[in-house]
Amino acid sequence: MSLSLDHEDATPEVRQKERFAAFAKMFGEGRSFSGHERNCCYLNPGNSPAANGRFANISAASGLDYPDDARAIALLDWDQDGDLDVWASNRNAPRLRLLRNEIPRSGNFVSLRLVGNGSTTNRDAIGARVEIISGTAGSGESSPNIATLRAGEGFLSQNSKWLHFGLGDHQQIDRVIVSWPGGEKETFTGVVANRRNRLTQGAGAATTIEPMNRELRLTADSQNVLEPSSSGTLRLVTPVAMPPIPYANWNGTLRQLDSKLDRPTLLVLWASWCQPCLKELQELANAKDRLARAGVDVIALAVDGIGTDKGDPNDARKILSKLKFPFRSERATEHLLEGLQKMHDRQAAVKRPLPLPASILLNRDRELTSIYKGPLQIDSLLADIEHLEDTPAERLAHASALPGRVINHDTSETILAIAESEQRFKTAGMFEKNKFWDQAIVQYDQIIELWMDEVDHQSSGIRGKGNHTASAVGHLQKRDQIQSLAYASRGQINQRKGNTSSAIEDFEAAVRIKPDNAQLYFALGNLNERLNRRQEAIEHFDNAIQYDPHYAEAYRKRARLYQIQGKHDAAADDLKQLAILRPDNPRIYSQRGQLLLLAGETDEALKCFSKALEIDPQNVDSLVNRGSLLAAEGKYEQAANDFSNAIKLNPDSSAAYNNFAWMLATCNDPDYRDGKRATIYATKACKLMDWKSRDTLDTLAAAAAESDDFQSAIKWQKQAISLDSDNPNDSLRRRLELYQTGNKYRMNSK
Which is nearer to other proteins, 262 or 730 (by Cβ)?
Answer: 730
Q: Compute the chain's Rg from CA coordinates.
A: 40
CA dihedral 382, 384, 390, 392 (to 10 degrees): 170
Footprint (CB under 8 A) of other proteins, residues 367-426: 373-374, 396-397, 399-412, 414-415, 418-419, 422-423, 426
Q: What single string gives the DSSP state of each residue in 192-238?
A: PTTSEEEEETTT-B-EEEPPP------------PPPPPS-EEEEEEE
CA angle 243, 346, 156 (to 5 degrees): 150
CB of 84 to other proteins, least distance (A): 5
Footprint (CB under 8 A) of other proteins, residues 31-90: 31-48, 50-64, 66-76, 78-79, 82-90
Q: What is the largest CA-CA distance in the chain?
A: 127
Q: What is the DSSP letter of 78?
A: T
Footprint (CB under 8 A) of other proteins, residues 198-257: 209, 212, 214-238
Please tell me whether the peptide bond between 45 and the residue prior to it is cis, using omega within 30 degrees of 0.
no
Which is nearer to other proteins, 89 or 333 (by Cβ)?
Answer: 89
Side-chain-side CA neighbours of residue 708 (13 Å): 0
| 625 lies in the site for other proteins, by CB under 8 A | yes
Which of 112, 130, 163, 164: binder of other proteins (CB under 8 A)? 164
Which is nearer to other proteins, 146 or 531 (by Cβ)?
Answer: 146
Distances (CA, A) of 348 to 241, 354, 417: 15, 11, 20
Number of residues lying near other proteins (CB under 8 A): 269
C-alpha to C-alpha distance for 170 and 135, rounded to whole angstroms: 6
CB of 219 to other proteins, least distance (A): 4
Footprint (CB under 8 A) of other proteins, residues 727-746: 729-731, 734
Burial of 36 (0-12, 13-18, 19+ CB in 10 A): exposed
Q: Which amino acid is at 52?
A: N
Which is nearer to other proteins, 59 or 610 (by Cβ)?
Answer: 59
| 325 lies in the site for other proteins, by CB under 8 A | no
Which of 200, 208, 471, 499: binder of other proteins (CB under 8 A)? 471
Distant-in-sequence, close-in-space partners of 438: CB < 8 Å, separation ≥ 6:
none
Which of 364, 587, 607, 635: binder of other proteins (CB under 8 A)? 587
Which is nearer to other proteins, 332 or 664 (by Cβ)?
Answer: 664
| 176 lies in the site for other proteins, by CB under 8 A | no
Please tell me whether the peptide bond between 94 and the residue prior to it is cis, using omega within 30 degrees of 0.
yes
Q: Pick from 540, 558, 432, 411: which is nearest to 478 by CA? A: 411
CA dihedral 121, 124, 128, 133 (to 10 degrees): 120
544-563 footprint of other proteins as x/- string (CB under 8 A):
--------xx------x--x
Which is nearer to other proteins, 237 or 266 (by Cβ)?
Answer: 237
Which is nearer to other proteins, 291 or 416 (by Cβ)?
Answer: 416
Q: Pick from 154, 144, 147, 87: which is nearest to 112 by CA? A: 147
CB of 566 to other proteins, least distance (A): 9
| 2 lies in the site for other proteins, by CB under 8 A | yes
Which is nearer to other proteins, 254 or 564 (by Cβ)?
Answer: 564
Which of 533, 534, 567, 582: binder of other proteins (CB under 8 A)? 582
Q: What is the DSSP letter of 189?
A: B
| 161 lies in the site for other proteins, by CB under 8 A | yes
Which is nearer to other proteins, 247 or 562 (by Cβ)?
Answer: 562
C-alpha to C-alpha distance for 260 and 362, rounded to whole angstroms: 10
Q: Which amino acid is at 278?
A: L
Please answer whether residues 401 and 235 qualify as being in contact, where contact means their C-beta atoms are separated by less than 8 angstroms.
no
| 135 lies in the site for other proteins, by CB under 8 A | no
Which is nearer to other proteins, 333 or 666 (by Cβ)?
Answer: 666
Q: Look at residue 173 and give its three-state secondary structure.
A: strand
Which is nearer to other proteins, 249 or 501 (by Cβ)?
Answer: 501
Footprint (CB under 8 A) of other proteins, residues 641-670: 646, 650, 653-656, 658-659, 662-663, 666
Residues facing residue 266 across a β-bridge: 298, 361
Q: Pick from 346, 395, 391, 388: which is nearest to 243 by CA? A: 346
CB of 485 to other proteins, least distance (A): 3
CB of 567 to other proteins, least distance (A): 12
Backbone dihedral angles phi then psi of residue 701, each to the nearest 5 degrees: -65, -45
Which of 133, 177, 182, 208: binder of other proteins (CB under 8 A)? 182
Which is nearer to other proteins, 156 or 254 (by Cβ)?
Answer: 156
Residues facing residue 200 across a β-bridge: 115
Strand 185-188 and strand 232-241: the pairing is: unpaired
CB of 144 to other proteins, least distance (A): 4
Burial of 463 (0-12, 13-18, 19+ CB in 10 A): exposed
Which of 468, 533, 567, 635: binder of other proteins (CB under 8 A)? 468
Footprint (CB under 8 A) of other proteins, residues 100-119: 100-109, 116, 118-119
Strand 207-209 and strand 328-331: the pairing is: unpaired
| 137 lies in the site for other proteins, by CB under 8 A | no
Footprint (CB under 8 A) of other proteins, residues 499-538: 517, 519, 526
Please answer whether residues 294 and 385 qualify as being in contact, where contact means their C-beta atoms are separated by less than 8 angstroms.
yes
Q: Is the dihedral of CA 60, 62, 66, 72 positive or negative?
A: negative
Footprint (CB under 8 A) of other proteins, residues 249-308: none
Which is nearer to other proteins, 187 or 249 (by Cβ)?
Answer: 187
Q: Which one of the spans 294-302, 328-336, 383-391, 476-484 is the region binding other proteins (CB under 8 A)?
A: 476-484
Which is nearer to other proteins, 320 or 738 (by Cβ)?
Answer: 738
Q: Pick from 570, 613, 616, 612: which is nearest to 595 by CA? A: 570
Footprint (CB under 8 A) of other proteins, residues 420-449: 422-423, 426
Distances (CA, A) of 115 to 82, 126, 181, 206: 21, 9, 12, 11
Footprint (CB under 8 A) of other proteins, residues 675-714: 693-696, 698-699, 702
Footprint (CB under 8 A) of other proteins, residues 341-360: 346-350, 352
Which is nearer to other proteins, 232 or 339 (by Cβ)?
Answer: 232
Which is nearer to other proteins, 271 or 418 (by Cβ)?
Answer: 418
| 498 lies in the site for other proteins, by CB under 8 A | no
Which is nearer to other proteins, 20 or 453 (by Cβ)?
Answer: 20
Give the length of the chain: 750
CB of 262 to other proteins, least distance (A): 26
Which is nearer to other proteins, 52 or 308 (by Cβ)?
Answer: 52
Please answer whether residues 123 and 113 qualify as being in contact, where contact means their C-beta atoms are separated by less than 8 angstroms.
no
Q: Which one of the spans 157-165, 293-301, 306-314, 316-324 is the region binding other proteins (CB under 8 A)?
A: 157-165
CB of 597 to other proteins, least distance (A): 6
C-alpha to C-alpha distance for 112 and 196, rounded to whole angstroms: 6
CB of 114 to other proteins, least distance (A): 12
Footprint (CB under 8 A) of other proteins, residues 592-611: 594, 597-598, 602, 605
How many other C-beta atoms are found inside a 10 Å radius of the C-beta of residue 317?
17
Q: Pick from 109, 114, 111, 110: which is nearest to 199 by CA? A: 114
Distant-in-sequence, close-in-space partners of 141: CB < 8 Å, separation ≥ 6:
none
Strand 358-362 and strand 254-256: the pairing is: unpaired
C-alpha to C-alpha distance for 186 and 122, rounded to whole angstroms: 16
Which of 16, 282, 501, 740: binder of other proteins (CB under 8 A)? 16
